[in-house]
Structure 1
Amino acid sequence: MNAIETKLKGCFILEPTVFEDERGYFFESYNSGKLEQILGYKPNFVQDNQSRSSYGVVRGLHMQEGEHSQAKLVRVIEGSVIDVVVDVRSESPTYGESVAVELTAENKKQLFIPRGFLHGFSVISENAIFFYKCDNGYNKASEDGINPLDIELNIDWKIPIEQMIISDKDKEAQMFRDFKIKNLK
């Protein structure tokens, strides 16, 4: 497995070693020992989630705060997405910066997202099945998020705005400036 740390400390693109022959392919999608070597600690994943979405869907930007914050290991089983993370760790030198990675069933890349990040993705194929592991369970009271079309963050979701499918909850989410003000208190 090849691990590439992004400009956001602790956030890694993971590229598996894929063995292919006339029968198809094989790769190790998760190995706790190897991930521990890369991260320097062992995440304890407690929940797996999967979603299916069609072209134009934008999900995010979401996170859980406080004791319910989550680290995630994300990948695509079918199709293609643009996966986006935003560093909102208050003491981080990259606070407010984002990284976008194309994750596809073909490239088999994964993204490890540490706690303290907003996360979202857009579907750029006809359909996509998105799978992720979390190191903490879902807690509705700890939810937070930012509108995926926030001007300050200026994320390129690789979908024309008129073709985006965004939930009402995400459309009505706060802007990054309000998130910053709230989290400075």
Structure 2
Amino acid sequence: MTDNPRPHTGRRRNEAARRAILDAALRLIADSEGGPVTAQAIAREAGVGKQTLYRWWSSKGAVLLDALTDHADQAAPAPDTGTLHEDLRAFIAAVFAGGRHPTTAPALRALAREAGNDPSLAQLMATFTEERRALLRDVLTRGVERGELRADQDLDLMVDQVYGVFWYRFLLGHAPLNDTVADSLADSLVGATRRA
């Protein structure tokens, strides 16, 4: 918890306060061990008033979704290197690295575990995963537009393959999520489309 409350910023969103709130939300989820994380706890951890959260977000769930999305967007943005293979390799490697991040990994595990018992968290996870899927689909769509994938390629199945590997290994922990695996998965996806 921060000892120095941040200055009052009124209705205008202060980026330092926003960043503190998002970081606090992820830390608290990661440390919660399945317990509820309240808006009051997030505000206290961030050194802001609870009213600041509700001025900028409609609910605690909106704060958590923004925190996850913000971190994922920074850690794994949609690359545009000019080739599908390099875009896939970079995106998959960044997603896998996010799954190893010391704050994000426990937060994702806690949310995935609790989503089965909490409909609002289940909706939060559904929204978050759909946003991440859309980014990867955009990468694949650019591959179609450049002629690197067939127009009739099942892009949703390709997205499922990437995130299927991620979530299976992330949740079960039976095999690594590293750059070598990211490279192999990108090779496999691009190679399969060339053979088809």
TM-score normalised by length of structure 2: 0.24
More strand, by proportion: 1
Larger relative contact order (C-alpha < 8 A, sep ≥ 6)? 1
Q: Which has the larger radius of gyration?
A: 2
TM-score normalised by length of structure 1: 0.25
